[in-house]
């Protein structure tokens, strides 16, 4: 994405340690909207039972999402593209539901598509077909956003949130880009096709080395993902040019990011996300705007729960009045505008999904699994439920994770010496360090608001007791439906 890098990254700040607090679409997007960890907004996975765009979500966390606060400040707000995976379904309020805070609403019903989809346009159903000129979703989002900018009121500020399907499956590139990158393959470095020894059982089940069928599948996916992103690159260029033409470019902050990472062959897992490793929790983040000097590369960790408070901070919202777990990173990229601190550690949490019955395509595997393709390699399971504390303070680069499963499995990585997380060093780590990480994890798993950002509060409880993540889950009333198999 050369245009995006030039027009946003080179003109502003690139955050090389940006993370999602949960590596899956719906809970991550819910965190972006609310500025909260999943254990606070209650969205656990992509299912309605996991609270994705459920009635409960619509009645509670969604009413406190950041666009509500922007609307109170007379911002003109515009949304286009994928919202939440279960949005528009009958389990919620259907396509008539327009989340509060949005003046102009063009949201995809359900999960990512490029053609043959339905939009909710200000609460009314709009059905699309397979014409590139009329229906290709990435281009439609771009065109409608340009129209919004052209017709906005110059008397009030504006906010756009654009969520194209790319590079999500089904990886349908625009016609002019379908032959690009014909020789590109997924990188064969790092943990690619390495055995998942000493890891959670889900990482130990893939065949190693991968069969040629899996390699062909993931290489094809990798190429097609790149192809779909060329249209996003075009969209960024069009938006920047439009802002320049209406003389708003120098007065506008532009954020480019994603809701989760992705893997293609790491530890012999063909394609997906949902895992605790760097390839799934790291996301791109570039920002340009007033007060941000060009060509900055920033090292301090930033989370997707920090986007909402940062956007509200820029817009003038008093952050002491809102309930967020994240913190504004405006001070990092524009220190002339704000003073602030950086966090030394943070939480990553995920609730696994599985099917209650055996997948007919993989009869030997049994129930409780999901995403078992290609070649019946499963990417998720009910007991792929974990919480991690990630320490990244400039001196220490550690990750400590506990699974809620029958093994009470623990994984520990020293990313300073092992950036690809090839070796679980649990048995080699000083017990005092393990104790400290365990206590940090417990506090973060129950944090809310200020306590998620208060390093001193977390530090005070170190070495007091030894409680496992499973026990924390058992204690917490809001996790009564948490399924651990």
Structure confidence by residue, pLDDT tens digits, 258-276: 999 999 999 999 999 999 9
Structure confidence by residue, pLDDT tens digits, 144-161: 999 999 999 999 999 999
User: Is it the case that residue 482 has pLDDT exceeding 50?
Assistant: no
Looking at per-residue pLDDT, the higher value among 476 and 47 belongs to 47
Q: What is the CATH number of domain 2-343?
A: 3.40.720.10
Catalytic residues: 25
Question: Crossing angle, helix 307-315 and helix 25-34, to 10 degrees?
Answer: 30
Mean pLDDT of 232-260: 98
d(CA 457, CA 454): 6
pLDDT value for 466: 44
Is the peptide bond preceding residue 209 cis, with omega within 30 degrees of 0?
yes
pLDDT value for 47: 92
The answer to which of 5-14, 117-126, 211-220, 454-463 has the lowest mean pLDDT is: 454-463
User: Is it the case that residue 485 has pLDDT exceeding 50?
Assistant: no
Structure confidence by residue, pLDDT tens digits, 62-86: 999 999 999 999 999 999 999 999 9
Q: What is the pTM of this model?
A: 0.94
User: Is it the case that residue 134 has pLDDT exceeding 50?
Assistant: yes
pLDDT value for 402: 98
pLDDT band of 36, cuts 50, 70, 90: very high
User: Is it the case that residue 476 has pLDDT exceeding 50?
Assistant: no
pLDDT value for 318: 97
pLDDT value for 472: 46
- As a whole number, the mean pLDDT across the chain is 93
User: Is it the case that residue 4 has pLDDT exceeding 80?
Assistant: yes
- Of 78, 30, 43, which is closest to residue 353 (Cα–Cα)? 43
User: Is it the case that residue 469 has pLDDT exceeding 60?
Assistant: no
pLDDT value for 471: 54
pLDDT band of 470, cuts 50, 70, 90: low
pLDDT value for 483: 31
pLDDT value for 456: 67
| Percentage of the residues of the chain whose pLDDT score is greater than 90 | 92
Structure confidence by residue, pLDDT tens digits, 302-326: 999 999 999 999 999 999 999 999 9
| Annotated domain spans of the chain | 2-343, 348-473
Highest mean pLDDT of the ranges 47-51, 178-182, 359-363: 178-182
Residue 229 Cα distances to 53, 111, 121, 441, angstroms: 26, 17, 24, 36
pLDDT band of 465, cuts 50, 70, 90: very low
pLDDT value for 92: 79
């Amino acid at each position: 994405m050369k245009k995006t890098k030039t027009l946003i990254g080179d003109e502003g700040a690139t955050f090389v340690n940006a993370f999602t607090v949960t590596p899956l679409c719906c809970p991550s997007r819910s965190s972006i909207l609310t500025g909260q960890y999943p254990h606070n907004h209650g969205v656990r996975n992509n299912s309605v039972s996991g609270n994705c765009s459920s009635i409960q979500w619509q009645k509670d966390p969604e009413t406190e999402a950041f666009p509500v606060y922007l609307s109170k400040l007379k911002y003109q707000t515009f949304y286009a593209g994928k919202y939440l995976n279960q949005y528009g379904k009958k389990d919620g309020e259907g396509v008539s539901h327009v989340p509060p805070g949005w003046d102009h609403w063009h949201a995809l019903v359900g999960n990512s598509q490029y053609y043959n989809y339905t939009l909710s346009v200000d609460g009314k159903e709009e059905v699309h077909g397979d014409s590139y000129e009329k229906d290709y979703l990435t281009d439609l989002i771009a065109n409608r956003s340009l129209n919004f900018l052209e017709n906005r009121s110059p008397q009030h500020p504006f906010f756009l949130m654009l969520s194209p399907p790319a590079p999500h499956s089904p990886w349908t590139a625009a016609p002019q880009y379908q032959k690009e990158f014909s020789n590109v393959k997924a990188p064969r470095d790092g943990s690619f096709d390495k055995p998942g020894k000493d890891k959670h059982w889900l990482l130990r089940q893939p065949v190693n080395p991968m069969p040629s069928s899996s390699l062909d599948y993931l290489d094809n996916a990798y190429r097609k993902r790149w192809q779909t992103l060329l249209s996003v690159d075009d969209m960024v260029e069009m938006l920047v040019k439009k802002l320049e033409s209406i003389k708003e470019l120098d007065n506008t902050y532009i954020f480019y990011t994603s809701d989760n990472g992705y893997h293609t062959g790491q530890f012999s897992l063909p394609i997906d996300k949902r895992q605790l490793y760097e390839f799934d929790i790291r996301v791109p983040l570039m920002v340009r705007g007033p007060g941000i000097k060009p060509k900055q590369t920033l090292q301090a960790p930033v989370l997707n729960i920090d986007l909402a408070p940062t956007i509200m901070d820029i817009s003038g919202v008093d952050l002491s009045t809102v309930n967020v777990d994240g913190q504004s990173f405006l001070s990092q990229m524009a220190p002339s505008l704000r003073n602030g601190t950086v966090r030394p550690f943070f939480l990553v949490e995920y609730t696994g999904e599985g099917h209650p019955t055996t997948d007919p395509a993989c009869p030997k595997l049994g129930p409780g699994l999901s995403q078992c393709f290609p070649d019946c390699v499963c990417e998720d399971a009910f007991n792929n439920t974990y919480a991690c504390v990630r320490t990244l303070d400039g001196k220490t680069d550690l990750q400590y994770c506990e699974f809620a499963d029958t093994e009470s499995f623990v994984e520990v990585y020293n990313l300073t010496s092992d950036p690809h997380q090839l070796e679980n060093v649990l048995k080699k780590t000083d017990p005092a360090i393990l104790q400290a990480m365990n206590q940090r994890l417990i506090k973060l798993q129950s944090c809310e608001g200020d306590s998620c950002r208060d390093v001193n509060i977390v530090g005070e409880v170190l070495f007091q007791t030894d409680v496992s993540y499973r026990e924390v889950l058992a204690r917490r009333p809001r996790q009564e439906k948490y399924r651990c198999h």
